[in-house]
Each structure stands twice: as C-alpha cells, then as structure tokens.
Structure 1
Amino acid sequence: MKKLNVIIALILSSFIYSCQPSGPALEERGIIPIPSEVSSSNGTFELTSSSAIQLIGDQASLSPIANYFAAEVSQSTGFDIQVGETGDLVFELTGNNPSDESYQLEIGKDQVKILANSPAGIFYGVQTLLQAFPAEILSNEKKSVAWVAPTGTISDSPEYAYRGAMLDVARHFIGMEDVKHFIDQMAHLKLNYFHLHLTDDQGWRIEIKSWPRLTEVGGSTEVGGGESGYFTQADYQEIVNYAAERFITIVPEIDMPGHTNAALASYGELNPGINLPDGDLSTVNKPVHGSEIDFSSKMIIREPAELYTGTEVGFSTFDTDLELTYQFIDDVVRELSAITPGPYIHIGGDESHVTRKDDYIVFVEKVQDIVQKYGKTSIGWDEIATAKLLSGNIAQFWADEENAGLAVGQGNKILMSPAKKAYLDMQYDSTSRIGLHWAAYIELDSAYLWDPAKYASGITKSDIFGVEAPLWTETVENRTDIDYLVFPRLAALAEVAWSPANTRDWTSFQNRIRELGKSWDNQGVKFYRSPKVTW
C-alpha cells in the first residue's frame, strides 16, 4: 500500500508540474544587451494579478521604479500591481553608489529579486526582467498570455559609462510624443544619454528668452520647407524630466560656429563683417552669406540670412571676431544650463568650412570657457580637438581619426560615433526607402560587428568615454521614418556599448534580435526587417 501511495504521489506531482506554464530557458528569451553572466535553472516564475512589489532600501529612490514597472505591464496584463510590505517582486538596494550600474537578477519559482548598489542598477534589472517575460508584456493592449519568466540568475554590468543615442530635431522638427517614444525605446536597451541636436542651418528648436527671434524666425521652417516648430523651455524641461525617470541624461547641442544659418536668419547682426581697405575693393570676391557690401562706407552691412531648407552644409558661420557673438553664446549657454541638470553641453564644431582655421580655434576655446563658466563640460565633434581642449572635455569621433588622436594626445576622452558604423541615418542598402549613404551602407551586421576599442588607430579602451548612435534627419519626417532607420540597429549599437566584446556573438544576436522583434511588433514599432535575420 505504501508503495502504491508513492507511485500515485509521483504521478500526481508529474501531472501538476505538466500543467504549470512553461517557456524557453533564460538564455533563449532574447535579452539585449547580452548580460555578462546568465545561469538558468529548471522552472518558471509567473506574474499574476496578486503579484506585488516589495522595496528594500531607500523608498524615495525605489518607488518611481516600482511605479514604472507597474505601468509598463498594466496594459498588456490588466494587473494593478501595488507596492506592499511583502511581495513576489523584490527590488533591493544593497548599497549607495550612484556610479555603479551593475545589478543582479534572481528569478525563482516563487519570487523575483533585483539587487543593485544604485537605483540605476535596479532600473536596468527591471529592463532585463521585462525581456524575460513573453514579448507581449509591453503590448499596448491586453493579451491572454501566461506571464511566465524562466528561472535563473543574471549578473550584469556595462562596459561603457556613456551609452547614448542622438536625435536631430533641427533639420526636421520631431515633436514631443515622438521624442518620448524614442526615449522609451532607449530605456529598454539600457542607454543612458540622449543627445538632442537642437540647432542647425535649417532650424533653431529651443526657446532662448533673451533672443526670442531664434524660435520665432529660426524655428519656423525645416528641410523641404513648410511650417515647423520648436520646444519651449517648459517643453524641454518636460523632456528632461521624462528622460530622468528612465535614468537617461539629456545632452543638448548648440552647433557652432558653422551650421548656424537659422541663427543668422534670426539675427543678422551675428553675420560676419569685413573691414575693407580704404578705396580698395579688389580683395572682396563676393558678399559674405547674409550680408551686403555698402561701397560708400567700405564695410559689410550685416543683414539677416535667408531661411534655408536644403541639406548641403558648410556655408554658414558666426562672426568669430565680434564681441556680440560671445554675448549671444553666453546668453544661450546660460539659459540652457539653467534647465539642463546633466553635466554636458554639446558645442558642435563640425563642418565649419568657411570659418578660417585660426578663427575657429579661438572660437572653440572661448566657447569652452563660457560652458565651463556655467558649470558644464563641453562635448564637441572631433574637429574641436584642433583647438586646445579644457581638461575633461570630450571629443566625439565621427569622421577623422587624426582629430581623435589630437584629443587623446591632450589627455581628453573620445566619444565613439564613427559614421561608417554608428550613423543611423545611413541606408541599409541601395534599396532603402529613406536615408543617405555618403559614409556607408550599414546593414544590421555591420552595426554590430565592430569593437570601439579597436576601431581607430591610436585609440584604446582607456581613451574611450562611451559610444553614441546619431540619427540625422535630412530624410526623416516622422515616427515611422525614425522606427525604420533606428530599429533594429540601435539594439546592435546598444549591445556594443553595454556588453564586453568577448561576450558578444553575431549568431547569438541574430537569434535574440528576433525575439526583440516580436516585442517591437507588440509595441507598434515599425522596424526594418533586416534580411540578415530570420524574423
């Protein structure tokens, strides 16, 4: 009889186990970026309507993360997950080191624990946990799915402290909701810096109250013509706060001294002037852009430039000898710094082809001083390294290895954004419906298969500040265009930025990106279905 009871118990246990929800192993859930260490076990955790979050540690820091998780899963599951004294989802701060972004995720059959030394680490653990559930977890509508995650343990930490993406809102203005959509997708990929390219020849997109015509005039149009727009300072602060809730820091860019036609169209007095020798006009070939020669006074009259809606660059420049130019920049940096909690202001500096080299160097050095005056650190495109950089300032490598080498030689760090690998506006191939290809065609495998620490001669890992993927918007007009060019390549570049080279594998990534594609489908992200992946 005893033997019979044992047999019945075993049969019953097997039946109960077979009725439990099951799914793929933790390694098969398609987690991107790939974690440092993954250890699977045999079992699943199920999120249910009775699930609750327990917070251990600083409640003020952890509560927003708990609310974020609950909001992310509420539409797909229909669950109203609350914070309680106990819970099957435990978020535990084990230390107090804001610079430590590592985390540990422990998924058991009855409880999930995320442990980290910082709120950022907890947040990144949450992103991994979301990817451990079925792809429908981030759906915008309720789904009838067993919300199970495979059991196991993940230990993880990022390779680079700066993991960024850039969105150009100047050439085509990208509105608030689409910017937030971009930020949401960045957060899921554990990116932590959002570079906003706010000004260019085609548009000025940030309100500067002391110079109101910048947006009234300079923000009125975009590539191709037609009405455009700009962000008020209140709008900008909303973006800053929205990003901060997702542990993303905003890096605003004011591109100068070139790429400045929108400013010159707003304030003609910033246009370059030429002092002419008395009675000798032979040295003047043609008027400076946006100015006219007054032959009676032998001077250039500064007039507003015409608004520009094309895509060619390199024709505009501030007057680098004019004191008013630096007062203007001081005002812009002062107002922008006051509403930017992050430590960085991007000063541009690229493709200033009509600025004389000596004048360019003087300009960059003066602007660096202005940025430092307001307590910020300058980042600039790699051309700024031809000037003397202040200690701690960053050169963003996009084109010229020699410039990047100049920055390293001065003891400054490099932000890696090589156009041939990281530029999201490049076409995938010659059939891509939008995009450019002056740098390269960049298919998904090309975006993935490179190592920042080995990409450029003379630049080693110790020289690298981080990795950033820029999206320029000459051909981008809306969210559909953004989704097409950005995804899936941003996921590849996020893994390059987060995961050590020795943990990355193209075959593994092909399998994992397929799972992430299912999540994008459920979120309504209109991504490019690269032929490099069997979707």
Structure 2
Amino acid sequence: MRDGLVRQHHRTLRLLGSLLLVAVGVCATGAAPARAAAPTPLDRVVPAPASVTPGGAPYRITRGTHIRVDGPREARQVAQYLADILRPSTGYRLPVTTRGEGGIRLALTRGDFGAEGYRLSSSPRAVTISARTPAGLFHGVQTLRQLLPAAVERDTVQPGPWTVAGGTVTDTPRYGWRGAMLDVSRHFFTVEQVKRYIDQLALYKLNKLHLHLSDDQGWRIAIDSWPRLATYGGSTEVGGGPGGHYTKADYQEIVRYAASRHLEVVPEIDMPGHTNAALASYAELNCDGVAPPLYTGTAVGFSSLCVGKDVTYDFVDDVIRELAALTPGRYLHIGGDEAHSTSHEDYAAFMDRVQPIVAKYGKTVVGWHQLTGAAPAEGALAQYWGLDRTSAQEKARVVKAAQNGTGLVLSPADRAYLDMKYTEDTPLGLSWAGYVEVRRSYDWDPGTYLPGVPEGAVKGVEAPLWSETLEDSGHIEFMAFPRLPGVAELGWSPADTHDWERYKVRLAAQAERWNALGIEWYRSPQVPWGAQ
C-alpha cells in the first residue's frame, strides 16, 4: 500500500514539473512551445539541384558539432566562411579542424563534379560536402545554408533546432557563366555596398560580377596615367549628386572579396559611346578638341570617342593596361552598345583596333551584342540584351556570329534586366523594355531563346542592374529580389527542372531568409508568399 502511494506521489511531482516547464515556456514566449518544424526538403532550394535522393533520418547541428576540412588554404577558407555564418545564430563554437569524426565535413575529392559541382550527403552521423574544387565546396555550402532554418542567417542566437534532412544532393551547373551586372556609373555605390551585393549573389551560386565602371554620368576607377578620369569625370552622377570613384586599392578589395565568394569580377569600360565622363575630363579625346560639360541626365547615344585620333588608342591602351593589371580574372568588357554618334564604319574600325589591345594584356574580350556588327575577335563573348521586339536583322547578326564561334551571354532586357519596373506602379526603375514581373523574368530557356544558335554557343546568363533610379542598397535589393534568384536558376539548373508552378513555391520559401538577412524585397502577387 505504502509503495503504491509513493509511486503515485512521484507521478504527481513529475506532472507538476511538466506543467511548470510549460508555464515557463508560455511566460517566456507568450505561447506554448511549438513543435519543431520538419527539416527543409532537399529539393526545396534555389537554384534547383540537378539530382536529389531523399531518405534517412536528419542530421542535427549541436553544441558538439565541428567542421572538418582537409585540403589547401582555399578549402579551409570555405570551412571558415561556413563557421562564420553558423556561429552567431546557433551560439555554438563549431571549431574548424582537420581531425575527428562526424560533424560537418568538407572534402576535396576526385569525382565527376566538374569545376563547380558538389555532392551533399546527410545522415544522423554527419553532413558531408564533396567536390573537386573549393568553388564546388562553396556552392555546396550555399545549399546547406538553405536546408537549415532561415533563422540561421540572423546575427543573434536563435532557438533552433538546426536539422538537415537526410539524403543526397548531387549538383553541377548548366552554364559556366552565371552573372550579375551592377552599374556603379549612373549612381556610385561604395565598396561596402558592393560587398553586400556580392554576398547576396553568392547565396544563389552566381559566379560573375560584371562592374559597369564608366558611362556618360561618371568614371569610377582610378587610372594613374589619366588621373582626371576619376577625380573630375567621377565627381558627379545622375541627378547631380557627388558621385565618387574607386581607388586602385578599393577595386582590389572588391576583387579580393568577390574571389572569397568564388565570384570573378568582369570590369567594363564602355566605348566608343557612353563616354561623356571621359570626354569631359580630357579635351583631346574629342574630335574638335573641346571638352563637353559633365552630364547628369539619363539620355543615351550622344557621346563618342574620336575614332580617327591616335590619342584615342593611347588612352584605350593605358586604361586597359592598368585595369588588366588589377584584374586577375580572364575577361575585360569593352561595352560597345548604343554608339549612335559613331558611324558603322568608324565603329568597326574602332573595334578592330581595340580588341587586340585587350588581348595584348592577356584578357578575353566581352562586348554588348552590337559587337557582332563588327568583327568579334577569336574567343570573344557577345552579351545579348535584345528584346522580343528586337529586329530580325539584328538577331540574325547575333545568330551568325554564334554560328561562327562567338560565345553568347544572354541578358534579354525584357527578361533579365533587374532595373525594369515590375508593374506601372513600381516606384523605382525604368520601363523602356516593358514591365518585367517575376514570372516573365524566370519563364524562358536560355538554350532555345535565340533560334539558330548552336548548342554550346550559349555560355550562360547574366542579370544586369542599371542604376539611373537606384541610390542605395535598399533600392538594389528591391529590384533584384525576387527576380535575381530566378535568373540564377536559369544559369545553374538543368532545363528539365524549369517549371514556374514548382519554382514559385520554392521561391516563396526564400522570403523568410531574406527577412533574416535584412534584404528589402518586392512582394510580387504572382508568388504565394504566405505569412511572409
């Protein structure tokens, strides 16, 4: 009898203890503790992975988890990058080590991963990201981030739990060029603002940052042999603001930071048009020897370097030489669009002289697709920004160049230009290419976009962001999100994964992550955002 009473007493104490814990939870949070959410399914990430095999129990990051890495310094840097993301929100030490078992492992290994592919395997014992290169490990880390709760992106300790669904993701990109262009000429953006955008690009596995460094409204890179380009030509911007420019050290810091996120910087000096900032800085670059005033408007097509003057090519040589020396990447963009003040003959002659200069300094030419109206150099890339309504003749030139060996990067303005308004009510952006809602920016196939272009001629996609109306990071983000992830998916994911109905659900799930990262974004009515 007494034993029964004792057991009953113990059960009562346990029940009271449980009720007390619930009450504490209610007092602390204002509600009863919620059941832990299920892990994010392996196929819920953006860009869509090439192959997903779900199965098995999840892995859980705990206070005892470590990040294990073997390999060169670049691989250890990826491990440290991952630790820097996870530590603030989890509150865990997450030491980076070469020893131990289990935990999170980053492994360089042989395999059919290509230059940027990876495999992520998750089980109760460990999460392992395997790749042939540090870039592959880095892209695998981005998938791991998206498989964890969005709160992992916050910079204060969050409650967790931090679980990764069980199974395997095997992933390689469709295209080698997955880029975003930022126009720092119409409005100047600081080094820190550019770095913030780089971090956002990296989350979606983009690998090229195209910087539009010169235009009519501003010259943004210091050139020692022509110092007034930056100090005078960079002294303003659209609307008459103070402008600004990057010192060589500033530019090198952007290049270094981009490389740490496995993005290659592609600098652009636009010519022979879009050159008023240079023409205003040096009178001798003008055919009549008279420097025009600085320009702060938004019209295009009125400026041109003087094609017939030898000093023009001295100028081009100096600029390319100094910029190439600062740029470890393979490519240098020479613009070439909207040269309406240059005759066709002069344009072709200019490109014939300038492209060899780029090669002389060890770089590969990239130009806007008007380059195909001249004679693209061997190995050159043409960046196509035409519209559905672009003339058949202009499209035919691009197709013919592709058939003759010129590679294409696709940036159709009425699909991929992130500065186009979403709707007529969008407070930022322009609309000359039409309104570009989220579905339109995603719902096209780069492989079939230009009929007649050979398979293999399309090298990738790029999402340009022109800045006539953009003045700060919030403006950049509002126009880039939610369209940027869709262009990234077009560049990374296999064509057979492209499906708007499935994509919009995966995209909606990204909103909580953007909120955690402090990203400003447009709430498109085409996407089922839910409570976000």
Structure 1 and Structure 2 fold alike (TM over 0.5):
yes
- 1:229, distance to aligned residue in structure 2 (A): 0.5
- After superposition, what is the alpha-carbon deviation per residue over 1:259-280, rounded to whole angstroms, capped at 9, x for unaligned? 000000100110123xxxxxxx
Q: Which amino acid aligns with 1:69?
A: L
Q: Which amino acid aligns with 1:165?
A: A
Question: Which structure 1 residue ranges, 5 or more long, are not aligned?
Answer: 1-18, 274-301
Q: Which amino acid aligns with 2:451?
A: S
- After superposition, what is the alpha-carbon deviation per residue over 1:227-264, rounded to whole angstroms, capped at 9, x for unaligned? 11111110000000000011100000000000000000
1:335-414 to 2 correspondences below 5 Å: 335-399=322-386, 400-414=394-408
- 1:95, distance to aligned residue in structure 2 (A): 2.7
Q: Which amino acid aligns with 1:31?
A: V
Instruction: Determine the structure 1 residue equivalent to 2:88.
Output: 75
- 1:150, distance to aligned residue in structure 2 (A): 1.1
> How many equivalent residue pairs?
487
Taking the aligned partners of 1:175 and 1:91, their CA distance within structure 2 comes to 33
- CA pair 198-39 structure 1, distance change in 2 beyond 3 A: same
- 1:134, distance to aligned residue in structure 2 (A): 0.3
- After superposition, what is the alpha-carbon deviation per residue over 1:194-231, rounded to whole angstroms, capped at 9, x for unaligned? 00000000000000011100011100000000211111
Q: Determine whether 1:436 maps to 2:450.
A: no
- 1:61, distance to aligned residue in structure 2 (A): 2.6
- CA pair 96-366 structure 1, distance change in 2 beyond 3 A: farther
Instruction: Determine the structure 1 residue equivalent to 2:500.
Output: 506
Taking the aligned partners of 1:99 and 1:25, their CA distance within structure 2 comes to 27
- After superposition, what is the alpha-carbon deviation per residue over 1:409-438, rounded to whole angstroms, capped at 9, x for unaligned? 431111111111110000101111111111
Q: Determine whether 1:36 maps to 2:44.
A: no
Instruction: Determine the structure 1 residue equivalent to 2:9.
Output: none
- 1:59, distance to aligned residue in structure 2 (A): 3.2
Taking the aligned partners of 1:110 and 1:259, their CA distance within structure 2 comes to 57
- CA pair 528-22 structure 1, distance change in 2 beyond 3 A: closer
Q: Which amino acid aligns with 1:316?
A: S
Q: Determine whether 1:92 maps to 2:107.
A: yes
Is the 8 Å Cα contact of residues 114 and 172 (structure 2) preserved in structure 1?
Answer: no
Instruction: Determine the structure 1 residue equivalent to 2:485.
Output: 491
1:106-125 to 2 correspondences below 5 Å: 106-125=121-140
1:228-243 to 2 correspondences below 5 Å: 228-243=243-258
Instruction: Determine the structure 1 residue equivalent to 2:24.
Output: none
Which of 53, 56, 70 does residue 67 from structure 2 map onto? 53
Q: Determine whether 1:65 maps to 2:52.
A: no
Taking the aligned partners of 2:53 and 2:431, their CA distance within structure 1 comes to 42
Which of 273, 282, 285 does residue 258 from structure 1 map onto? 273
Counterpart secondary structure, 1:411: coil
Instruction: Determine the structure 2 residue equivalent to 1:142.
Output: 157
Taking the aligned partners of 2:339 and 2:40, their CA distance within structure 1 comes to 53
Taking the aligned partners of 2:73 and 2:35, their CA distance within structure 1 comes to 36
Question: Which structure 2 residue ranges, 5 or more long, are not aligned?
Answer: 1-33, 387-393
- After superposition, what is the alpha-carbon deviation per residue over 1:429-477, rounded to whole angstroms, capped at 9, x for unaligned? 1111111111121111111100011111222432101100000001111
Is the 8 Å Cα contact of residues 39 and 148 (structure 2) preserved in structure 1?
Answer: no
Counterpart secondary structure, 2:185: coil
Counterpart secondary structure, 1:210: coil
Is the 8 Å Cα contact of residues 103 and 115 (structure 1) preserved in structure 2?
Answer: yes
- 1:140, distance to aligned residue in structure 2 (A): 2.7
Is the 8 Å Cα contact of residues 403 and 454 (structure 2) preserved in structure 1?
Answer: no
- 1:165, distance to aligned residue in structure 2 (A): 0.3
Taking the aligned partners of 1:391 and 1:488, their CA distance within structure 2 comes to 37
- CA pair 49-258 structure 1, distance change in 2 beyond 3 A: same
Is the 8 Å Cα contact of residues 221 and 248 (structure 2) preserved in structure 1?
Answer: yes
Instruction: Determine the structure 2 residue equivalent to 1:288.
Output: none
Counterpart secondary structure, 1:257: coil
- After superposition, what is the alpha-carbon deviation per residue over 1:344-396, rounded to whole angstroms, capped at 9, x for unaligned? 00000000001011010010111100000000000000001111111100011
Is the 8 Å Cα contact of residues 23 and 149 (structure 1) preserved in structure 2?
Answer: no
Taking the aligned partners of 1:98 and 1:39, their CA distance within structure 2 comes to 17
- After superposition, what is the alpha-carbon deviation per residue over 1:309-361, rounded to whole angstroms, capped at 9, x for unaligned? 00000000000011000000100000000010000000000000010110100
Taking the aligned partners of 1:394 and 1:34, their CA distance within structure 2 comes to 27
Which of 212, 223, 228 does residue 238 from structure 2 map onto? 223
Taking the aligned partners of 2:474 and 2:497, their CA distance within structure 1 comes to 32
Q: TM-score, normalised by structure 1?
A: 0.89
Is the 8 Å Cα contact of residues 173 and 228 (structure 1) preserved in structure 2?
Answer: yes
Is the 8 Å Cα contact of residues 454 and 460 (structure 1) preserved in structure 2?
Answer: no
